[in-house]
Amino acid sequence: MAKKITLLGSTGSIGTQSLDVIRAQGYEVFGLSAHSQTDKILQQIEEFHPKYVCMTSEAGAEKLSAALAGRADAPKLLTGPEGLKTLAAMDGPDVVLNSVVGIAGLGASLAAIESGHDLALANKESLVTGGHLVTQAVAKHGVKLLPVDSEHSAIFQCLQGNRREQLNKIILTASGGPFFGKTREELVCMTKSDALRHPNWKMGAKITVDCATLMNKGLEIIEAMRLYDLPLSKVTAVIHRQSVVHSLVEFVDGAVMAQLGVPDMRIPIGLAMTYPNRTHNPAPALDLLSCGPLTFDAIDETAFPVSYTHLTLPTT
Ligand code: NDP
Ligand code: MG
């Protein structure tokens, strides 16, 4: 039977790639949400016929309400941050995928978990800002937390069939972004448009800028600590320019497992939707003979101080 999905943040980069996977799988869409892009969500409503739609900004909600007025097939419209939580909590979907950007996603993550839904989580800010709340709620309600962030999906995959207590260290990979190799002095001259030119991934603006400063890796270290209940000393990061090795887990016996694939978010998105199954994915397969040499470098912590050791973090 086709899975039913509620997709929060459907107009964003992860949202539209999730709809690619949903389209390819023939899944049903139960609910969609956006903040302000009314025209884009209208197109999604035409194609996917959700039962519910939430528009979180006031202006977006007014515009969408006017556009849907009088239509017999219109989805029910929810509005604002409360509407987003209501949608996340609604009975109906098999999985709620949260691809909202920023702390605005936290309430919806908690609402989905507390209502007993498995949560496919792209919104890393849920874990960075409310990690303990999220993991405690997951344990209390016995639901699955399925990481969408490519590094955390890689770790999740490396841990399958292995014992969590035999994990020695998590090694996150970072592409290094557009400013790799630049000194702190050179970074002073960089502009927003320079920061938005990511070499490997096409993503929303916030995460792209965070990748350029390596702030994203700092956030992902916290995300991994929260997801796998590890101290900072057990989570590290290296530069891997090709974004083919998505992250690695070192075990106590010295064995290291990695997950590889083309840099295409539809692979971790697809797994989060279909887990524990794997199904065909619209992303291309990895061709080892054409992906070139795979390289690893240390992070330059002087040029990119937010990336790692200078983070002020709790130690657990
Ligand atoms: P985008 O900016 O492309 O999309 C964000 C989505 O959230 C849009 O649907 C947007 O609506 C909606 N949104 C914006 N503000 C609010 C708000 N205040 N309340 C509710 N919804 C809001 O972001 P990305 O898709 O790039 O990223 C989404 C999340 O996934 C982030 O947490 C990011 O860190 C994470 N992530 C992204 C990756 C990527 O490849 N893009 C990779 C790994 C993780 P509208 O379009 O109408 O403004
Ligand atoms: Mg990532």
Ligand 1 neighbour 209 (Cβ under 6 A)? no
pLDDT at 311: 55
Residue of the nearest CA to atom 46 in ligand 1? 11
Q: What does the alpha-carbon distance between residue 79 and residue 113 come to, in Å, rounded to a whole number?
A: 20
The pLDDT of 52-77, averaged and rounded, is: 97
* Residue where the block lists tokens 């130690």: 315
pLDDT at 201: 80
Checking 82-87 for CB contacts under 8 A at 24+ apart, the result is: 83/54, 83/55, 83/56, 84/8, 84/33, 84/54, 84/56, 84/108, 85/110, 85/111, 86/54, 86/111, 87/6, 87/8, 87/31, 87/33, 87/52, 87/54
The pLDDT of 105-129, averaged and rounded, is: 98
* Residue where the block lists tokens 């990690």: 131
The pLDDT of 118-147, averaged and rounded, is: 98
Query: Has residue 309 got a pLDDT over 80?
Result: no
Ligand 1 neighbour 222 (Cβ under 6 A)? no
Ligand 1 neighbour 100 (Cβ under 6 A)? yes
Q: How confident is the model at residue 151 (pLDDT cuts 50, 70, 90)?
A: very high
pLDDT at 55: 98
Query: Has residue 312 got a pLDDT over 80?
Result: no
Query: Has residue 60 got a pLDDT over 90?
Result: yes
pLDDT at 123: 98
Q: List, in order, residues 6 or more apart from 230 with CB less than 8 Å away.
A: 167, 170, 224
- The two structure tokens encoding residue 183: 């000194």
Q: What percent of the chain has pLDDT over 70?
A: 97
Rounded to the nearest angstrom, the distance between the alpha carbon of 276 and the centre of ligand 1 is 25
Rounded to the nearest angstrom, the distance between the alpha carbon of 12 and the centre of ligand 1 is 5
pTM of the model: 0.96
Rounded to the nearest angstrom, the distance between the alpha carbon of 46 and the centre of ligand 2 is 31
Exposure on the CB side of residue 140, measured as CA atoms within 13 A? 11
Query: Has residue 116 got a pLDDT over 90?
Result: yes
DSSP 297: B
The string of pLDDT tens digits covering residues 175-222 is 999 999 999 999 999 999 999 998 888 899 999 999 999 999 999 999
Contact (Cβ atoms closer than 8 angstroms) between residue 31 and residue 54: yes
Rounded to the nearest angstrom, the distance between the alpha carbon of 127 and the centre of ligand 2 is 13
- The two structure tokens encoding residue 156: 């999740």
Q: Which of 99, 127, 148, 223 to mutate to test the pocket of ligand 1 (most atoms within 8 A of CB)?
A: 99
The pLDDT of 121-140, averaged and rounded, is: 98
Q: Which residues of 26-49 are buried (b: 16+ CB within 10 A; e: fewer)?
A: ebbbbbbbbbbbbeebeebbeebe
pLDDT at 218: 95
pLDDT at 242: 96
- The two structure tokens encoding residue 192: 């927003």
Q: Which atom of ligand 1 is nearest to the CA of 36?
A: 47
The string of pLDDT tens digits covering residues 235-261 is 999 999 999 999 999 999 999 999 999
Handedness of CA 273, 275, 278, 283 (dihedral sign): positive
Residue ranges with CB less than 5 Å from ion ligand 2? 149-151
Rounded to the nearest angstrom, the distance between the alpha carbon of 223 and the centre of ligand 2 is 10
Ligand 1 neighbour 207 (Cβ under 6 A)? yes
Q: How confident is the model at residue 103 (pLDDT cuts 50, 70, 90)?
A: very high
Ligand 1 neighbour 149 (Cβ under 6 A)? yes
Ligand 1 neighbour 101 (Cβ under 6 A)? yes
Q: Which atom of ligand 1 is nearest to the CA of 84?
A: 20
Q: What percent of the chain has pLDDT over 90?
A: 93
